[in-house]
Amino acid sequence: MNYFQLFDLPATFELDLTELGSRYLALQRQFHPDNYAAASNRDRLMSVQQTANINDAYHSLKQPLLRAEHLLALRGLKISHEQRSFTDPVFLMQQMELREQLEEISTSDDPDDAIMAVEQQLQQQRKVLLKQLAAALEANTAEQNQQAAELVRKLKFFFKLQHELELIEQQLQD
């Protein structure tokens, strides 16, 4: 299913999230199961299925990584469930350093400052990679789509580290 077509939006990485939200609400109103309460079993079931499709599509298009994965899948590159290791030594070293910083937070003299420092690094790296991802997806060539796939893989690491940082912060607050 092409989520962009479902929402009648251009298949681009840069989306107007306000417009996406408006179209989501309109589709939800149109296909809400309550509208089909007096309909046949088949129509009620189709309404429930369409509502689920709308929810899945909205969830995917709203999040940059899932949106990029969907765009790449539409272009023939399915990377959503792959497990792939990296060969980029600079990226691997950066990941090791960030993991070390995460491990050192709990023993830091000032855990709040340590959390802020890691948070800033993660935000900065995500911002750079998202900008590169947008440019690669906009180019839409075979080579740039491969580059975009690699950038999505890298971004997944940063989002995972962000989640781990949030867990550490929560543990320290408890």
pLDDT per residue as tens digits for the range 90-123: 999 999 999 999 999 989 999 999 999 999 999 9
- In this structure, what DSSP letter does residue 13 have? S
Provide the whole-model pTM: 0.87
What's the pLDDT score for residue 86? 74
Low-confidence ranges of the chain (pLDDT < 50): none
The count of residues in the chain is 174
The correct answer on CATH 1.20.1280 for the domain covering 89-173 is: yes
Domain ranges of the chain: 3-62, 89-173
Gap between the Cα atoms of 57 and 2, Å rounded: 8
Query: For residue 66, which of 81, 88, 44 has the smallest C-alpha distance?
Result: 81
Those residues whose C-beta lies under 8 Å from the C-beta of residue 64, and which sit 6 or more positions away, are 13, 130, 133, 155
Gap between the Cα atoms of 53 and 47, Å rounded: 10
What's the pLDDT score for residue 8? 97
CATH number belonging to the domain at 3-62, selected among 3.30.590.10, 1.10.287.110, 3.40.50.300, 3.90.1010.10: 1.10.287.110
The string over 65-101, giving b where at least 16 C-beta atoms fall within 10 Å of a residue's C-beta and e elsewhere, is: bbbbbbbbeebebebeeeeeeeeeeeeeebbeebeeb
Question: Would the CATH topology of 3-62 be identical to that of 89-173?
Answer: no
- In this structure, what DSSP letter does residue 14 have? S
Query: For residue 54, which of 75, 74, 25 has the smallest C-alpha distance?
Result: 25
pLDDT per residue as tens digits for the range 58-72: 999 999 999 999 999
